[in-house]
């Protein structure tokens, strides 16, 4: 089993990812979605947590060189800190916006101008939060070596966002691997695969059962 399939299998087993094509979830944006992903749950399972960090270590080699790991607040912070520990590198994290008090930092930790940062995010949908973090790092004089994520939906918007930002992006697992594993383990029925695939192609217009 390759890395994408292994991580997808782990996330399904611990219910970090839930698939419900008949009773879709509603995202904050209003989009009806047959999938709900909460990778924070992986932190409570040592075996899964280790598999994710081992995967990050392996995938990070393609984005070298870098000398600091930067987590994207908030979900990317714990995974980024664990990766920094595994790589024996400094860790910083990037807020979605500067604090409204104190030093009003957007980047927390020791920021060294000229450093190269490996950015860690837990989940990529449109890529907006990760690219925003990359922009904040660049404004602080830090180069983004690339972005690592646990899971990506594979939306074209995300691919376009990273390409426009000129930032490499890699994910341990993806939507196609997830559907394959879910079908293989009878988590979903074969006839549900088509509906789930259709959602990824057009999430804004998709409706359950269509």
- Report phi then psi at 115, rounded to 5: -70, 160
Q: Output the CA torsion sign for 126, 85, 55, 58.
A: positive
Residue 29: the pLDDT is 74
CA–CA distance, 152 with 166 (Å, rounded to integer) = 18
Residue 6: the pLDDT is 97
Task: Show binding-site residues.
Answer: 95, 99, 101, 121-129
Residue ranges of domains in the chain, CATH in brackets: 3-201 (3.40.50.2020)
- Which tokens belong to 176? 């196609």
Task: Show binding-site residues for 5-phospho-alpha-D-ribose 1-diphosphate.
Answer: 95, 99, 101, 121-129
3-class DSSP state of 87: helix
Asked whether residue 209 carries a pLDDT value surpassing 50, the answer given is no
Q: Stretch 174-188: mean pLDDT, rounded?
A: 94
CA neighbours closer than 13 Å in the CB half-sphere of residue 55? 25
Alpha-carbon distances, residue 37 vs 42, 148, 162, 175 (angstroms): 11, 17, 21, 11
pLDDT digits (tens, 9 = 90+) for 4-34: 999 999 999 999 999 988 889 988 778 889 9
∠ Cα 127 128 130 (to 5°) = 70
Task: Show binding-site residues for orotate.
Answer: 125
What's the residue count for the chain?
A: 210
Longest Cα separation, the chain: 55
> Which of these, 168, 142, 163, 155, lies nearest to 200 by C-alpha position?
155
CA–CA distance, 192 with 102 (Å, rounded to integer) = 51
Residue 99: the pLDDT is 61
CA–CA distance, 97 with 133 (Å, rounded to integer) = 9
Residue 31: the pLDDT is 82
pLDDT digits (tens, 9 = 90+) for 78-134: 999 999 999 999 999 999 888 655 466 899 999 899 999 999 999 999 999 999 999
Least reliable range by pLDDT among 52-66, 151-165, 186-200: 186-200
pLDDT digits (tens, 9 = 90+) for 29-61: 788 899 999 999 999 999 999 999 999 999 999
Residues 6+ apart with CB under 8 A from 32: 24, 25, 26, 206, 207, 208
> Which of these, 165, 175, 136, 144, lies nearest to 35 by C-alpha position?
175
CA–CA distance, 202 with 182 (Å, rounded to integer) = 20
């Amino acid at each position: 089993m390759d890395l994408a399939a292994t991580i997808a299998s782990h996330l399904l087993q611990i219910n970090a990812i839930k698939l419900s094509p008949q009773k879709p979830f509603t995202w904050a944006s209003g989009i009806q979605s047959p999938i709900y992903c909460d990778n924070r749950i992986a932190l409570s399972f040592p075996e899964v947590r280790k598999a994710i960090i081992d995967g990050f270590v392996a995938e990070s080699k393609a984005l070298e060189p870098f000398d600091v790991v930067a987590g994207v607040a908030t979900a990317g912070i714990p995974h980024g800190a664990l990766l920094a520990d595994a790589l024996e590198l400094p860790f910083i994290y990037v807020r979605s916006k500067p604090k409204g008090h104190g030093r009003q930092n957007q980047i927390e930790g020791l920021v060294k101008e000229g450093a190269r940062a490996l950015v860690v995010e837990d989940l990529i949908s449109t890529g907006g939060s990760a690219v925003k973090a990359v922009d904040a790092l660049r404004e602080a004089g830090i180069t983004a070596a690339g972005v690592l994520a646990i899971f990506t939906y594979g939306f074209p918007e995300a691919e376009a966002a990273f390409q426009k930002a000129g930032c490499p992006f890699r994910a341990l697992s993806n939507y196609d691997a997830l559907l394959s594993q879910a079908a293989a383990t009878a988590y979903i029925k074969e006839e549900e695969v088509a509906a789930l695939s259709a959602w990824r192609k057009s999430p804004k217009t998709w409706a359950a059962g269509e």
